[in-house]
Structure 1
């Protein structure tokens, strides 16, 4: 009589056969399947751990999961940008979701413990305390990981292929969460350190102990992988309408622009203005690392003997690359003020003040968009300082206050007309053409200017003072007039 086990099971003999003579194949197959599944999962976890130590962990996670599942995988950031792809066809076949579809997917995934299917995709959310950090998206157009409903006991068993795949996606999502959370903490720490450093280097150095203070600043910058000893300029960037794009981190946008220019920088945000302490862009560096024009502000060497300046201003086409880089990432034309070139860290506060002067002039224009360097401010270099703006207000009131009051009351255009007339050197035909008015209309307006202001436009000194007053009105504190362009 066959012996019975504790729970009434037939006991197999040592050769794998049951006591009644029949082989116990189901137990052996199950044991082999479980052991194989455990071995495969152990190897997957090993590779996943190694992926976290790679240079680009997101790419490693995507590739390890793709290899394990045999399905294409993508890793996204919180805004839907693809960070990494796993699989030869992932880039070509990866179907992007609309903003509404993505929002619904993320909302559903947050409420469930595992991946959520949306059409041909399985998405798993990497989140921490309700904050979305990223997504793992598995492309499964054939429904490979979808239970067929015919054998639910096989689909759900621990060693089953579907349960194992879903478990692997969960492990990969956990690994991605840890990596992205760690990276976020590092980024916040570095951002704070960079902000603190920029705030420090923009302060005037005390002349007592100057060398030691400069060394401290250089050392702190070096710890953040930035060489503060080389040539620099300070840039002040303000987006159009004074607001940065929704859903985008200012630091990420600035980094994109700087990367496209191959320009090292340290940055901070003051209000809605990004302040960037910038090293020389790669395009304006010699092989030895010294700066060339236009970054250096030095004249270029012409074909003849000696140095010659180009006819265009510093803010002309030579600076178009900088202008275009920020326009591209902001998807609109910002206002950019550029401080003068400095070659010593202790001179950076001056470049910062000059960048803010240039930005003030740029934003006070009728069209505030575009880039202007301190070198191109001309008369505004005197007027755009805080003290100069206060003095400008009194000067403007003395010379064109009556015209400003008349324009405000009558919705007239006398100050603008006067400014264009003086810009054109007193030429009637050129002024009329620039204003798109008839000569008789121009003559009438200028007569009203004479009557209201009491000034003789034929007098040289009077015309000079009136011209300065019109320009000063742009930067007067507070501004009383947008410039004519």
Structure 2
């Protein structure tokens, strides 16, 4: 079993902070392990366990909160959770400072039972040596399919569990008793767009997400069955929904059962999300530590199963054309999806491959063979061919890192090549040796920009002339240099007649006082055009 991070307060805040909990006041030691979860009872003098997270059920006034905070300081409690909004008076703030106990708020709408179950689930997850499957509500933790079958039995109707994007997360048996639209949904693991559009136009999703009670939905087509759906919530956050294909409205008992089931589904969905996030975060931390090559790199590689092996570093990023309308959230989702796909692709080739999304780049460590980076290039190209052109992605390949100390240089090597690939062009995979000159040009541009360098000499004169006369001399010179002096090819590149192009060449030589027969002058001009910001015009207006 892969070791997981110990259950600390910082981890609880990371996993549940956006959904159930918020840090209201105090600067807790987020790395300190939680010793247990205790529910405060004013009629019970039993002391909570050391380093406990205490649930202050029913506490509302600042005086009650302050008194409990001070009493908990003697038990070294880590935090006190009370129902939001939390009144932070001067008395409460002083009690937090004096006791060292952090004050947290439970999101409005979330239940204490839900919070307690999630906390105990996370604490149990931190027990590395735990034996046997964990359960929530009598169901194996995270097994949404078993839960869907249980709900279907309670409602006597086939059920699907869906996320906010109408993607099917799990479904029960007996789907053959439903209709063709349900079968289509199950096969595609997504509500078909034509049905989702009808539901949206009817305001079904608006009604569904604005209540915690089941919503009865009339058939979408003449041949389909009605539906009963209920939102799955964790506090104010809607995680998804449960849909049952029914022949009539639910009875009162079944309505209550569906509402209760939605709360249990929420626990399982949160548990799945927390578990996935923890695994991702652990792998990201280990891979990041390994790539940095510091004191903990060898231990990180050992935990990744790559210690003592030569490895190749892969670096993958998505590229998007200028003017893209995708939101940052959509881009982040796309990067994560591609990273997961790369992880699956690499694991099929070698069980010890490791991948993680660090920033906006997905890094991979692939055990090296005799052909090293050549094989890694083939693997990268094969992966990009499989994912197709719907998402534009590029992969750079670093050199073989034979020792742990070689990893930082290998990563830097891959990063330099990746930057060239992200800058555009036809290449989708490359090693630094394949794009070394382009990488040097990009780095020279950085240096020039940091020093505020601008074009000088002949290039500066041509830029000034172009700006005054709406001319194209800089573009003409650039095309001629790129074509190695071939006027026919250069004139075709800028879409003008060769004679017009020759005239422009003579003009730019005169205006810029540029000797085109001098190789040093040509090199200087080309270097400035490549490295410095000249903003050459792309039109082909005629100069008279």
In 1: Cα distance, 2:200 partner to 2:374 partner: 45
Cα deviation, residue 380, structure 1: 2.1
Q: Does 1:72 align with 2:163?
A: no
In 1: Cα distance, 2:434 partner to 2:260 partner: 58
Structure 2 unaligned blocks of 5 or more: 1-134, 186-190, 219-225, 348-352, 539-544
Deviation readout 1:81-108 (Å, 9 max, x if unpaired): 1112223437525454436835943442
Identify the residue that residue 316 of structure 2 maps to in structure 1.
Answer: 235
Deviation readout 1:32-76 (Å, 9 max, x if unpaired): xxxxxxxxxxxxxxx9956434xx612222233334544322111
Q: Calculate the TM-score normalised by the size of structure 1.
A: 0.63
1:352 and 1:453, CA in 2 relative to 1: closer, same or farther beyond 3 A?
A: farther
In 2: Cα distance, 1:482 partner to 1:278 partner: 39
Cα deviation, residue 128, structure 1: 0.8
Counterpart mapping for 1:52-201 below 5 A: 52-53=140-141, 57-87=143-173, 88-89=175-176, 92-94=183-185, 96=192, 97-98=195-196, 101-102=199-200, 104-119=203-218, 120-140=226-246, 142-143=247-248, 146=249, 162-201=251-290
In 1: Cα distance, 2:340 partner to 2:358 partner: 16
In 1: Cα distance, 2:161 partner to 2:269 partner: 11
Identify the residue that residue 300 of structure 2 maps to in structure 1.
Answer: 217
Q: Secondary structure of the residue that 1:175 maps to in structure 2?
A: helix
Match for 1:385 among 439, 443, 447?
Answer: 443
Contact 1:234 1:348 in 2 (8 A): no
Q: Secondary structure of the residue that 1:98 maps to in structure 2?
A: helix
Contact 2:227 2:245 in 1 (8 A): yes
Q: Secondary structure of the residue that 1:466 maps to in structure 2?
A: helix
Contact 1:268 1:276 in 2 (8 A): yes
Structure 1 unaligned blocks of 5 or more: 1-46, 148-161, 206-211, 298-313, 474-478
In 2: Cα distance, 1:58 partner to 1:386 partner: 54
Q: Secondary structure of the residue that 2:271 maps to in structure 1?
A: helix
Counterpart mapping for 1:68-467 below 5 A: 68-87=154-173, 88-89=175-176, 92-94=183-185, 96=192, 97-98=195-196, 101-102=199-200, 104-119=203-218, 120-140=226-246, 142-143=247-248, 146=249, 162-203=251-292, 205=294, 212-219=295-302, 221=304, 230-241=311-322, 244=327, 246-247=329-330, 249=333, 252-259=336-343, 261-262=345-346, 264-268=353-357, 270=359, 274-280=360-366, 294-296=374-376, 320-323=381-384, 331-333=390-392, 336=394, 338-343=396-401, 344-362=403-421, 364=423, 373-385=431-443, 389-390=447-448, 394=453, 396-397=455-456, 400-467=459-526
Contact 1:236 1:355 in 2 (8 A): no
Contact 2:208 2:229 in 1 (8 A): yes
Cα deviation, residue 355, structure 1: 4.3
In 2: Cα distance, 1:196 partner to 1:137 partner: 38
Cα deviation, residue 136, structure 1: 1.3
1:453 and 1:384, CA in 2 relative to 1: closer, same or farther beyond 3 A?
A: same
Task: Name the stretch that deviates more: 120-129 or 180-189.
Answer: 180-189
1:322 and 1:276, CA in 2 relative to 1: closer, same or farther beyond 3 A?
A: same
Cα deviation, residue 460, structure 1: 2.8
Contact 1:337 1:356 in 2 (8 A): no
Cα deviation, residue 362, structure 1: 4.7
In 1: Cα distance, 2:371 partner to 2:160 partner: 42
The alignment's C-alpha RMSD in Å is 4.1
Cα deviation, residue 432, structure 1: 2.0
1:249 and 1:412, CA in 2 relative to 1: closer, same or farther beyond 3 A?
A: same
Contact 1:72 1:139 in 2 (8 A): yes
Contact 1:235 1:355 in 2 (8 A): no
Q: Secondary structure of the residue that 1:416 maps to in structure 2?
A: helix
In 1: Cα distance, 2:456 partner to 2:384 partner: 35
Q: Secondary structure of the residue that 2:298 maps to in structure 1?
A: helix
1:110 and 1:235, CA in 2 relative to 1: closer, same or farther beyond 3 A?
A: closer
Cα deviation, residue 220, structure 1: 5.2
Cα deviation, residue 384, structure 1: 2.5
Q: Calculate the TM-score normalised by the size of structure 2.
A: 0.57
In 2: Cα distance, 1:73 partner to 1:93 partner: 14
1:396 and 1:198, CA in 2 relative to 1: closer, same or farther beyond 3 A?
A: farther
Contact 2:287 2:356 in 1 (8 A): yes
State which structure, 1 or 2, has the greater radius of gyration over its C-alpha atoms. 1
Contact 1:257 1:325 in 2 (8 A): no
In 1: Cα distance, 2:184 partner to 2:418 partner: 46
Deviation readout 1:107-141 (Å, 9 max, x if unpaired): 4234434321222221121111211212111122x
Deviation readout 1:249-277 (Å, 9 max, x if unpaired): 3563233442564465543454xxx1222
